Amino acid sequence: MEDCLFCRIIAGEIPSDKLYEDDGFIAFRDINPQSPVHVLVVPKKHKERLADCSDNDKTMLSGLLLVANKVARDEGIAESGYRVTINSGPEGGQLIYHLHLHLMGGHKLSDQMG
């Protein structure tokens, strides 16, 4: 998807503060962090949103969570705790229509969930 920001980051056309990469995923720091650790974990295959996923995406979706766990360990927040969020669609607050997971931690997160 040529006009997709995250596809362009994956392709290396736009720089990012990359923390992790494998064949299926990339993780980089959010440009506008909402907590001391705020990392986006992004599947390399373009999929617009969680709402578009089906049984065919089970492996990718479990991989997304496991990469988040790995990055949390690497960032030193596995024990203190963290939150993962996926925004899907307009009322979910999704701004970038390439599926991604937010990993946030490094301080006490708000009790508010929406």
Residues engaged in binding Zn ion (CB under 5 A):
1, 4, 6-7, 46, 98
Q: Which is nearer to ligand AMP, 65 or 96 (CB)?
A: 96
User: Which of 7, 60, 84, 96: binder of ligand AMP (CB under 6 A)?
Assistant: 96
Position with the least CB separation from Zn ion: 4
Instruction: Tell me the pairing of strands 82-85 and 101-105.
Output: antiparallel
Tell me the HSE value of 8 on the side-chain side, using a 13 A CA sphere.
Answer: 9
The sheet carrying 37-43 orders its strands as: 18-21, 25-29, 37-43, 101-105, 82-85
- Cα-to-chain-centroid distance, residue 20: 11
Per-residue contact string for residues 27-66; x = within reach of ligand AMP by CB under 6 A:
-x-xxx-------x--------------------------
Q: Which residues bind ligand AMP (CB under 6 A)?
A: 5, 16, 28, 30-32, 40, 87, 93-96
